[in-house]
Structure 1
Amino acid sequence: MTSTSSGSPVAVVTGAGSGIGAATAVRLADEGYSLVLVGRRQERLEAVAKEIEACGRRAAIQVLDVTDAAAVRAFGLQLERCDVLVNNAGGAIGTEEVETADPADWRVMYETNVLGSLQVTQALLPLLVSSGNGTVIVLSSTAAFTVYEGGGGYSAAKHGQHALAGTLRMELCGRPVRVIEVAPGMVHTEEFSLNRYRGDSARSAAVYAGVDQPLVADDIADVIAWAVTRPAHVNVDFLVVRPRAQAAQHKVHRADA
């Protein structure tokens, strides 16, 4: 991993190679942070790092699978500083109902969304505490508090993340670390729905059909940056972010075809 040594605070973003993770990394760089970009695809991380460095900020990359406990621990030991951790790595697989769902898909979603967030947080928590003003962001979803047909595995994982964030906030009370959960609704990114529908681009596109301005990655990055940059004594516990066209999980306004 390239060093981010400088006088500026350091933000670590997981799943930083694309989508919300990449947008958040760029946005936090704009706020004066040096970035450590964590993800599984080196070429994607390098592209985001170049974008950040082109704006005069520092960015290091770390190729890492957040479900690999030993690798995560090693990463935490080699890092010198961490002021902000954004637990963004995650995602959804499949839309099968509970009756026919593959337990392997549920396991992958749980390990990535929940155990990945747990392991990275555990590895970096000493640095976050020693910073004197640490912030942990947990990127969950509106699925963290609302279930829906075909979303059982993803919702279960996001409910797990929600429990993690709330419990950690209570356990850290009195120590200099904030825990902020951001729960997006409908966000149109290049990969999320495509991965969920196993590469079926037509089904992926149909999710957003007729929706006037679904959220995009930059919208969520802006919300995260706002929460992170509040004064140190201000903790934004839980922030739900939806497009205007989405009033609830099943209430979405779509223009007539």
Structure 2
Amino acid sequence: MPEHMDQPGLAHPPGRTALVTGAGRGIGKATALALAVQGLHVVLTGRHEQRLHEAVGEIRALGGSAQALVGDLADEGFWQALAALDRSVDVMVHNASQPAPFGVIENVPIADLHGVMDSVLFAGLRLARLCVPHMKQAGFGRLVFVGSTASELGAHGQVAYAAAKSGLQGLVRSLALEVSRFGVTCNLVEPGFIDTERTRGAVSDTVRAALGARAAVGRAGTPEEVAAVIAFLSSPLASYVTGVCLPVSGGIELGLK
């Protein structure tokens, strides 16, 4: 494994498992790689089988341990497969989301509004409900949710997305109150404008450059920069950090509030 494994406090003891949703690309994939470096067995979930298996291959090539669980958070069969895993989850990272089509609220189909809320917020609740009992019993657990600075700034044409990500703030703070005395922490990472395959496909080069320039650091972020923060919050070293909603945004929100 890479030398990062030798950093005290970041490495996990043998036998622990991490679950990462939306792990086929972008922030999710980068997070899965970062957690594998910490010595965790990583279960990568997502809808795209080839992407997941490629990510699993990269982890194994580094000497890590991983497996893919292909499925859609909207499919009850996926939840049954998740519950039937032969491993208990010690670190849960909920990164998956299903953005609605860009458009003003009255033009977005109801089904798409439901899809966003279900994949982000309700799925987050279900994942916590599934993972928390084992974490409490073990006396250790890390719950990390991936939100967005849209919670603070709003998002024109993506009202449902911003609303769902805002809901994660209440979920994280309330869940932290329930679980933290059991050695289980619960935190929210809120990325700003991150250079991913999804943002490249959705936003023109000109707009992407303008959004990156709005950040205090003057550029877009990378998936690896977000994953590094998630990895810290997932580590044993972050035992006194809970209920936090942390922007990882390059300061894109500064001066705008």
The question of whether the paired residues in 1 share the 8 Å contact of 2:23 and 2:32 is answered with yes
Q: 1: distance between equivalents of 2:46 and 2:104?
A: 30
Which of 35, 42, 55 in structure 2 is aligned with 1:48?
A: 55
* 1:128-207 superposed matches below 5 A: 128-192=135-199, 194=201, 197=202, 203-207=203-207
Q: 2: distance between equivalents of 1:96 and 1:127?
A: 41
Which of 227, 231, 236 in structure 2 is aligned with 1:225?
A: 231
Q: Which moved more, 1:12-21 or 1:72-81?
A: 72-81
Alpha-carbon distance change, 145 to 213 in structure 1, aligned in 2, over 3 angstroms: closer
> What is the CA-CA distance between 1:192 and the residue it aligns to?
4.1
Q: In structure 2, what is the equivalent of residue 36 of structure 1?
A: 43
Q: 1: distance between equivalents of 2:28 and 2:230?
A: 10
Q: In structure 2, what is the equivalent of residue 209 of structure 1?
A: 209
Which structure: greater helix fraction?
2
> What is the CA-CA distance between 1:137 and the residue it aligns to?
0.4
Letter in 2 for 1:207: V
Q: Which runs of 5+ in 2 are unaligned?
A: 1-12, 213-217
Q: 2: distance between equivalents of 1:219 and 1:93?
A: 26
Q: 2: distance between equivalents of 1:191 and 1:216?
A: 12
Aligned length: 238
Q: In structure 2, what is the equivalent of residue 110 of structure 1?
A: 117
Q: Which moved more, 1:159-168 or 1:123-132?
A: 123-132
1:64 partnered with 2:71: yes
Q: 1: distance between equivalents of 2:256 and 2:185?
A: 32
Q: Which runs of 5+ in 1 are unaligned?
A: 1-5, 198-202, 252-257
| Identical pairs, percent | 30
Q: 2: distance between equivalents of 1:61 and 1:151?
A: 30
Q: 1: distance between equivalents of 2:206 and 2:109?
A: 24
Letter in 2 for 1:231: L
Q: In structure 1, what is the equivalent of residue 10 of structure 2?
A: none
Letter in 2 for 1:31: Q
The question of whether the paired residues in 2 share the 8 Å contact of 1:146 and 1:249 is answered with no
Q: 2: distance between equivalents of 1:105 and 1:249?
A: 32
CA offsets, 1:171-210, max 9 Å, x none? 224222100110111111002463xx4xxxxx44343124
Instruction: Report SS of the residue matched to 2:209.
Output: coil
The question of whether the paired residues in 1 share the 8 Å contact of 2:136 and 2:179 is answered with no
The question of whether the paired residues in 2 share the 8 Å contact of 1:37 and 1:45 is answered with yes
Q: 2: distance between equivalents of 1:160 and 1:14?
A: 18
TM-score by length of 1: 0.84
Q: 1: distance between equivalents of 2:94 and 2:32?
A: 12
Alpha-carbon distance change, 47 to 189 in structure 1, aligned in 2, over 3 angstroms: same
Alpha-carbon distance change, 204 to 146 in structure 1, aligned in 2, over 3 angstroms: same
Instruction: Report SS of the residue matched to 1:15.
Output: coil
Alpha-carbon distance change, 249 to 81 in structure 1, aligned in 2, over 3 angstroms: farther
CA RMSD of aligned residues (A): 2.2
The question of whether the paired residues in 2 share the 8 Å contact of 1:49 and 1:61 is answered with yes
Instruction: Report SS of the residue matched to 2:127.
Output: helix
Q: Which moved more, 1:216-225 or 1:72-81?
A: 72-81
Letter in 2 for 1:37: L
1:120 partnered with 2:147: no
Q: 2: distance between equivalents of 1:19 and 1:175?
A: 32
Which of 7, 16, 29 in structure 1 is aligned with 2:23?
A: 16
Q: 2: distance between equivalents of 1:20 and 1:67?
A: 20
Letter in 1 for 2:237: P
TM-score by length of 2: 0.84
